[in-house]
Amino acid sequence: MERTLILVKPDAMQRGLAGEIIKRFEQRGLKIIGMKLLQISRELAERHYAVHRERPFFGALVDYITSAPVLAIALEGSDAVSAARMTIGATKPAEAAPGSIRGDYGLEIGRNLVHGSDSGENGEIEVANFFAASELRSGWSRDVDGWVFE
Binding residues for ligand IDP, rule: CB under 6 A, are 52, 57, 61, 91, 109-110, 112, 115, 118
Write the Ramachandran bin of 139: left for phi over 0, alpha for psi from -120 to 50, otherwise beta: left
Stretch binding Mg ion (CB under 5 A), from 80-88, 95-103, 113-121, 123-131: 113-121
Q: How far is the CB of 49 from ligand IDP (least distance, A)?
A: 6
Rounded Cα–Cα distance for residues 131 and 102 (Å): 25
Cα–Cα separations (whole angstroms), residue 8 to 19, 101, 107, 139, 149: 10, 11, 16, 23, 26
Nearest to 78 by CA among 147, 30, 124: 30
Q: Closest CB to ligand IDP belongs to which residue?
A: 91
**47 vs 142 by CB, closer to ligand IDP:** 47
Which does residue 140 touch among Mg ion, ligand IDP, none (CB within 5 to 8 A, set by kind)? none
Which does residue 29 touch among ligand IDP, Mg ion, none (CB within 5 to 8 A, set by kind)? none
Rounded Cα–Cα distance for residues 66 and 71 (Å): 12
| Other beta carbons within 10 Å of 79 | 13
Q: How far is the CB of 146 from ligand IDP (least distance, A)?
A: 37
Using CB under 5 A as the binding rule, whether residue 109 contacts Mg ion is answered as no
Which one of the listed residues 115, 117, 123, 126 is annotated catalytic? 115
Using CB under 5 A as the binding rule, whether residue 118 contacts Mg ion is answered as yes
Provide the strand spans (E) within the chain: 2-8, 31-38, 70-77, 114-116
Q: Which residues are at the interface with Mg ion (CB under 5 A)?
A: 118
Residues marked as catalytic: 115
